[in-house]
Chain A
Amino acid sequence: GQQVMQIPQYQHVQEGEDFTTYCNSSTTLSNIQWYKQRPGGHPVFLIQLVKSGEVKKQKRLTFQFGEAKKNSSLHITATQTTDVGTYFCAGPNTGGFKTIFGAGTRLFVKA
């Protein structure tokens, strides 16, 4: 079945370092969404990408959607302790109207 893979599973960084998480789908996605879940919290929508090759920025966060619409990345510049949490990518499955979430990348930031 369709899968959405995310790497790495965990990432430890020193505050101020950059961080990137990658999302790869086994099939083409019509769109991809990114969510952040703080420890003990619930997922919060960050952004949705729809167009091939699309790049969107939110302050220190940069989101990219691959040309083939099968992969995506989230890059955080100069991490801060407030960036701690798990970042999930999610996309609709092919024709099934079901959201498939990646397993998430858990980010730890050391002050």
Chain B
Amino acid sequence: EAGVTQSPTHLIKTRGQQATLRCSPISGHTSVYWYQQALGLGLQFLLWYDEGEERNRGNFPPRFSGRQFPNYSSELNVNALELEDSALYLCASSRSGFYNEQFFGPGTRLTVL
């Protein structure tokens, strides 16, 4: 069974640009979560999608947005990039229902110059 996949692996952008990160969940999983992990720090919850709808978002500005497609894959968009957005962005998926264990992808390392 394939795990959670994310693309790209690395992304380098400059301040003010936009970044798009992609995630494909495990087959059969309908929930997708996005987290930000700054270097050496813990995971900060960004967004939760389930069945195509945004269920909740963390304490991040509106320039962090995303969507979930009918095939349950997901996109995270970050507009007007700032230097402090440099981090590892992790996507996780689970079966529908918030309390199920989450399976993480390898992450996208975003560097903002």
Chain A residues with a Cβ under 8 A of chain B: 30-31, 33, 35, 41-45, 48, 88, 90, 92, 96-104
Question: What's the interface size class on B, roughly?
Answer: 20 to 34
Determine the distance from Cα of A83 to Cα of B99 in the docked complex, in whole angstroms: 26
Q: Are B43 and A88 in contact (CB under 8 A)?
A: yes
Chain B residues with a Cβ under 8 A of chain A: 33, 35, 41-45, 48, 55-56, 58, 90, 92, 98-99, 101-107
What are the 7 tightest A-B residue pairs by CB atom distance, in nearest-first order?
A103-B42, A101-B43, A42-B104, A45-B101, A43-B104, A97-B56, A97-B98
Q: Are B56 and A96 in contact (CB under 8 A)?
A: yes
Sample (27) of A-B pairs whose CB atoms are under 8 Å apart = A42-B105, A42-B106, A43-B90, A43-B104, A44-B104, A45-B102, A45-B103, A48-B101, A88-B43, A96-B56, A97-B48, A97-B55, A97-B56, A98-B45, A98-B48, A98-B56, A98-B58, A99-B33, A99-B45, A99-B98, A99-B102, A100-B45, A101-B43, A101-B45, A102-B42, A103-B42, A104-B42
Residues of chain B within 8 A of A99, CB atoms compared = 33, 45, 98, 102
